[in-house]
Chains A and B, each alone.
Chain A
């Protein structure tokens, strides 16, 4: 999207709010990709202000969602933008949007306070014929000061993206962490009878809007994974009855085979630098983990246990890989250097483990655990300590972290029962504390993968 951003009002008073609301100020809290070019507070003065009672953390907001007055920005597309902002904030569970009429001029903070609000939004949308200019201000109701004022201009068809960027700014300014609303989820759309499901590679906004198919469903297709540049998916396709990993270019729609292996290649994930893909390849009664350099297509084998080694996922610094292996007799989680070598088992709970994925924050590994015929979805520290089960069900698998690591999307499936009629598959999200699980409106779907923030 083409866009320009300029501050409506440079606001020295934002400094005070930055200190009051943020856990560590707001350095680095901007939206990626140049949509929000500069923080609007003056760096330096912020730290002169003591962080007061108003500090709100994500942990606190989980317990008590932040009440925020969000009046309609107008009619038509302006109302649609308002609705998307409200849904982003409300659905993440950390905010409680409050409807109101748009004030003339400065909001009546006294009345907002009496409504229990902590923050308020004002603004308007100007249709410039083909493009939209969205003026947005965020206010601290307690002090009556403006936290941020920004005008976004973008092509009219990109109205959803403007709304997500504004929701991200609100999240970032009030919680001191980068938001994740301006992002997408790729997944597998499923239809047809269970014995022979039609599977299509698909993509949607993180809120489920604007979903579309990327492949036609001719072949069984599984496990899409984003590259860090948000421009390509690695995925598995059974095209021509040869199950292998392919790359799908999201800009051109072109597909290409990744590597030339004699076995089945599957379970791809990009390295954090985007230059290579780690995947597994079947050999004999097991599977080995390889990396494939995307510039040269040179491949390197990094495990050779003879057992099943699969589902590799890099640590965000690229130095380590967590993976799933039954080398010890049952499927468990292991960690090794990204170069291979000795692997250390980290899962020791009851049952089998699988589908590990490393948080973008680096501090957690999410996984599926299977015991007594049912699945759990959990997280643990990379050293295996602190295992917590977030949710359970007949099948809960394929966890994927949102860009700031605060939320997981995953696949939830119900038992088909004795005759198959009970089968349902969908994508849910859940906070990493296990709070606020909800279904995404993706229809019959599986294999979610969350994108990095959109540019």
Chain B
């Protein structure tokens, strides 16, 4: 997964242009980049575990990469039991607006269920879907679409 190579600082800048929650939370992390992410913050989650998992076209199946990321998220959440997160599901724009709202929620739900199965209390995780309306990558090509089929975990 390409995004892993970006590192925390790159990811933070990248995220600043993304979803409402990512934007809100990453600013905190970016402000503390000089001394490393604040423990338990969004930036810490990004640096420690990675905040997102990607999906294949029209799928909500978790790949081995995705499961590895979610395993790290579960461990991180175990370390910071006071932290609540919201998982936002997103889609590429090769589906209809309404179907994609449900498909994004299905992806968020897949990540949610995996974290719960790994012991994270369900009351700490909410889900939302932005369908195809909050793309991470603004292009329309295979690389962009691959990035936009995701579930992004954001600290609340």
Binding site for B on A (CB under 8 A): 193-197, 199, 220, 222-223, 236, 238, 241, 243, 263-264, 266-267, 280, 282, 284-287, 308, 310-311, 324, 326, 330-331, 352, 354-355, 368, 370, 373, 394-395, 397-398, 413, 415-420, 422-423, 446-447
Contact = CB atoms under 8 A, between A and B. Distances in A.
B102 A354 contact: no
Interface of B: 17-18, 20-21, 23, 58, 60, 86, 93-99, 101-103, 105-106, 109-110, 128-130, 133-141, 143-144
B97 A420 contact: no
A417 B133 CA distance: 17
Given A194-B135, A264-B129, A308-B106, A331 B144 contact: no
A189 to B, nearest CB: 14
B19 to A, nearest CB: 8
A199 B134 CA distance: 12
B14 to A, nearest CB: 10
A417 B105 CA distance: 26
B96 A355 contact: yes
A423 B99 contact: no
B66 to A, nearest CB: 15
The interface centre, meaning the residue of B97, B110, B130, B137 with most chain A CB atoms within 10 A of its CB, is B97
A307 to B, nearest CB: 9
A312 to B, nearest CB: 10
B81 to A, nearest CB: 23
A220 B141 contact: no
A373 B20 CA distance: 28
A241 B144 contact: no
Contacts of A420: 137-140
A200 B102 CA distance: 22
Contact of B140 (A197, A331, A370, A422): A422
List of 10 A-B pairs having minimum Cβ-Cβ separation, nearest first: A420-B138, A354-B96, A416-B140, A308-B102, A415-B140, A282-B105, A287-B102, A285-B106, A194-B138, A267-B98
18 contacts: A195-B135, A223-B98, A238-B130, A243-B129, A264-B101, A264-B129, A266-B101, A284-B109, A285-B110, A310-B101, A311-B99, A324-B99, A354-B98, A397-B96, A416-B144, A419-B138, A420-B139, A423-B140
A332 B146 CA distance: 23
Contacts of B93: 395, 413
Given A331-B95, A370-B95, A418 B141 contact: yes
A408 to B, nearest CB: 15
Contacts of B130: 220, 238
The interface centre, meaning the residue of B23, B95, B138, B141 with most chain A CB atoms within 10 A of its CB, is B138
Contacts of B20: 241
